[in-house]
Amino acid sequence: MLDHADFEPRSWIPMSGWPVDRNSLLPHYEAAADLLGIDDLQAEWPASASLPMTGPLFSERCFLSPIPDLGATLRARLQRAKNVQVFLHATALRLDTDSSGGWVRSIEVASTPNRRFRIQARSFVLACGGIENARLLLVSNRQTPNGIGNQHDLVGRYFMEHPRVKWGSLQVCHPDTALALHVPSIVARRPYLSEQEHCGVTGAFGLALRPEIRESERLLGSRTWIKPGPCANDLGGSEALHYLAFWLRKGRLHRDLIKSGRTILRHPAASVASAIERLGHSRGRVRHFHFDTILEQEPDPESRVTLDTRLDEFNLPRVKLEWRVGPLVRRTLERVQTIITDEMRLLGHRSDVRSSTQVPPGGDDIPYRWVRHHMGTTRMSADPRTGVVDATCQVHGLGNLFVAGSSVFPTGGNDMPTLTIVALAIKLGRHLRQWLE
């Protein structure tokens, strides 16, 4: 869940501030939590469940849904519903408006390049993900050459991810249950935490900077996980093993599976060492960790999705992505590294916290990874000059077009996006029910 400060304008982050606040979203967050099987959204967790941080850091909870596959969960309800018709294997190609460009009349859909049809409706909601939502608006240019909702050249701009960096190395002298709550792989399997030790908490904890520190030092949001294995010698083997196990458990032939297999083959010794380390973890013999930090980004209009000159199988432009990460991300990362390193030293029984060579010093570019959170390309703002959709997620200037998904996030906070995506979708659904009556 995003925190109060994430919704507020922050003077040091241009274009920050949502046109909704967290209090008004809370009922929708609660409904989203119900849907996702999270039953203690607002519960206070006992202090013993978090690392005893007193300084600029605190342990922030991240909610884990026991039923993340909403397609499977809702399929039966959708089949039973009398007012819902679901078309599978149907690709939305583009929207058509009336001649004024202010009202969507229909959407063109195709099941194969030669099998196309058109759907008319009173209202339309785009929910095609953080990149495709923008592409669909841009490609819908038959009546308005710049695309739908793009009167201020904002569609596709301000693309944000959660840049991710693995760094450092932490060695502990004995297994520690408070620390274990910050290790997602341990929390997910909870192999050695008793009910009492776990204190009934469902979720993992990440280390975050307190809002007052972010404000006084003019920093972005961040969240740091503590992950098994010393990453300096790991060469990606640990992560490759993680993905290999993930996709094998799912029984799907994903391209990560092949990539992971290749990484393991390239670094067999480091991968085996990592596997042994992981086995040790699951039995509670926790010794070596590294840190894995995800960061918020400052919105940047040049970080953007545009249309490519290459065409897809439906003869429409493919998408082109220019992802930019600004200097404030680096400054935030450097502060996070210093603060965490200092705090871990203060916690006595942990030792040997070192900065990693994975983050180059000085001006060198940091090899940020992404975490598949695509945000910002149809950003929300009360003012059409600074946003594509308004506070109800209606596209500015369009009478019957709405957007769902993290493309509407004006800023990304430090949290996983899906709980907020679902909360906003529920809010939109409630709004549409009234709107259509």
Contact set with ligand FAD (CB under 6 A): 91-92, 127-129, 132, 136, 372-373, 405-406, 416-418, 421
Residue 41 and residue 33 in contact, taking contact as beta carbons nearer than 8 Å: yes
Please state, in angstroms and rounded to a whole number, the distance separating the CA atoms of residues 8 and 137. 28
Minimum Å distance from CB 112 to ligand FAD?
13
Minimum Å distance from CB 41 to ligand FAD?
14
Count of positions (residues) in the chain: 437
Give the residue with the Cβ less far from ligand FAD, 91 or 224: 91
Would you tell me the crossing angle of helices 268-282 and 237-250 to the nearest 10 degrees?
70
Give the residue with the Cβ less far from ligand FAD, 282 or 418: 418
Give the residue at shortest CB distance from ligand FAD: 405
**Terminal Cα distance for the chain, rounded:** 31
* H-assigned helices in 48-182: 70-80, 132-139, 177-180
Please state, in angstroms and rounded to a whole number, the distance separating the CA atoms of residues 12 and 434. 38
Minimum Å distance from CB 94 to ligand FAD?
9
Minimum Å distance from CB 349 to ligand FAD?
30
Amino acid letter, residue 132: E
CB atoms within 10 A of CB 52: 11
Residue 69 and residue 37 in contact, taking contact as beta carbons nearer than 8 Å: no
Give the residue with the Cβ less far from ligand FAD, 294 or 340: 294
Minimum Å distance from CB 110 to ligand FAD?
9
Please state, in angstroms and rounded to a whole number, the distance separating the CA atoms of residues 236 and 263. 7
Give the residue with the Cβ less far from ligand FAD, 56 or 417: 417
Give the residue with the Cβ less far from ligand FAD, 172 or 226: 226
Minimum Å distance from CB 128 to ligand FAD?
4
- Dihedral sign, Cα of residue 85, residue 90, residue 94, residue 99: negative
Give the residue with the Cβ less far from ligand FAD, 132 or 298: 132
Please state, in angstroms and rounded to a whole number, the distance separating the CA atoms of residues 383 and 396. 9
Give the residue with the Cβ less far from ligand FAD, 107 or 329: 107
Give the residue with the Cβ less far from ligand FAD, 128 or 232: 128
Minimum Å distance from CB 85 to ligand FAD?
15
CB atoms within 10 A of CB 41: 17
Query: Residue 161 to residues 41, 105, 278, 346, 368: CA-CA distances in angstroms?
Result: 25, 33, 28, 32, 10
Minimum Å distance from CB 370 to ligand FAD?
10
CB atoms within 10 A of CB 327: 8
